[in-house]
Amino acid sequence: MGFHIVVCAGIVPDPLQTLEPITGPQGPALKNEMMLPAVLDPWAKHALFEAAHLAAKTPDSKVWLVSMAPKTKLQQVMMSIAQKASFELVALDGPASGFTDSQAVAEALAAAINAISGLDRKRLLVFGGWESASRGAGATLQIVGERLGIVEQFQGVDELSVTASGSLRILERVEGGMHQISHCDGPPAVLGWATGSLPEPPNNPQVGMANMRTLMPALQKATAAGVAVDGKSFTSVEVPKQRRDTRIVKDASTDDIAREIMEWIKG
């Protein structure tokens, strides 16, 4: 029997864009956020590719992508993502910035998952990123699992394999570049993916057109998700600082440059 895999994935501004925190009418925001091109959250994107891969090699499996974002932005992102994997979209119209509350987002996602028609909880694997590229709180997926009553949770997953008996063998990242190997009897389970090991599939317009049949209706019927941040405030917001220590040294020899680099690497 195949899996029912639900991938939770938000969208974030294209990482190449200039991200400048500002204070908007509803609190912290990114300057021109709605105008910036968006991409599927990179961590969650790995989860989606892993889900599609697992579904493709496990007969009778199906993938849903549950995403909360402003639907016009989500639609633009889907024009590319929908070509990379087969899935059915469940769209929630809501904010996608990193300034939403993890619990409120998780509640909305869990409710959306609960509402999926035909979803078999006994076959359910909830995938997502172990954190997000917008804020990286690393909490949303865990709360989604808790709300769904799924206690088998794994974070920082790089590999999932299904044994002959149907149990799951999972590699989670731990300190020192090592992996922790866990075994799980089977679904339901929550897997927060790190990078996995699959390359990004090329766009395939045929796949995209097939997804389109459910994608556009899903976007059209996307309802507003209430994820107010009442009672919460941000004391400060800043993007990670870029460090640039440029020195101009004339006539340095190749050996000197190499030596200095080696010393820097060694710390």
Partner 1 sequence: MSATMQDSPRATLQTLPGDDVRQIMWRFAERYDIQMLLQSVREVARGPVARLVAEGGRNSHEWTEGKQALIKHFDEAGITTAAVGPEYGGIVSGPYNLLLSLISFELAWVDAGAATGSLAGFLAFAPINERGTPEQVAEYTQRTASDGKGGHLRGAFGLTEPLPYVGVETGTLAGKVRIVEWRDGQEPLLHVDKRGRFITNMDLANYVTVAVDSDDERIKGSCMIIVEETDPGTFDRGVPTKKLAHQLSSTRDPVISVKVPASRIIGGYTIENGVIVPNYSHGKIIEAVFKHTRVSVGLLTAAKLLSAIEPVIRYQRERFRGRPGIDPGTPRHDLGLQQREDVLHRLIDVWATGEAAASLGFAAARLFDVLDPLEKDKERALSEQGAKGGLSQVKALQGSEKRALEFLALRAQPESERDNARFQELESDTIVQYLITDAVGNVLCPACKLWNTGYGATMMREALSLMGGYGITEDCPGFLAQKWMDAQLEATYEGPEAVQRRQLSLSMTLDLFIEQYKQWILEMRRIAFERPGTGACSLASAMELWLYTLNHLRKSTDDFGKKLYNTPRQGVTFPLADALCWLLATRELISDVIELEIKGAENPALAEGLPGLVAFYTDLCHVQCARAAGEVGKVCAELVYGYNRHPSWDRDSCACYSAEELESLESIVPGITPVASGLVDVIGPDGAAPCKAGPCAHAEGLQTFQRLRAKLDGCLTGARLAKDRAAYALTEVMIPEVLDYPR
Nearest distance from residue 198's CB to partner 1, in Å? 16
Window of 42-50, 65-73, 101-109, 154-162 that interacts with partner 1 by CB under 8 A = 65-73
Nearest distance from residue 64's CB to partner 1, in Å? 20
CA 208 to CA 87: how far, in whole Å?
A: 10
Helices 102-114 and 140-148: angle between axes, nearest 10 degrees? 40
The interface mask with partner 1, positions 72-101, x = CB under 8 A, is xx-xx--xx-xx------------------
Distances (CA, A) of 247 to 82, 221, 257: 46, 56, 12
Among residue numbers 210 through 239, which ones bind partner 1 (CB under 8 A)?
212, 216
CA 95 to CA 134: how far, in whole Å?
A: 12
**CA 204 distance to own-chain centroid:** 21
The interface mask with partner 1, positions 7-46, x = CB under 8 A, is -------x-xxx-x----------xx-xxxx---------
Strands 62-69 and 4-8: parallel
Q: Which of 204, 214, 229, 237 binds partner 1 (CB under 8 A)?
A: 204
- Does residue 265 belong to the site contacting partner 1 (CB under 8 A)? no
- Percent helix, percent strand, percent coil in the chain, to nearest 5: 35, 25, 40
| Contacts to partner 1 by CB under 8 A | 14, 16-18, 20, 31-32, 34-37, 70, 72-73, 75-76, 79-80, 82-83, 202-206, 208-209, 212, 216, 246, 248
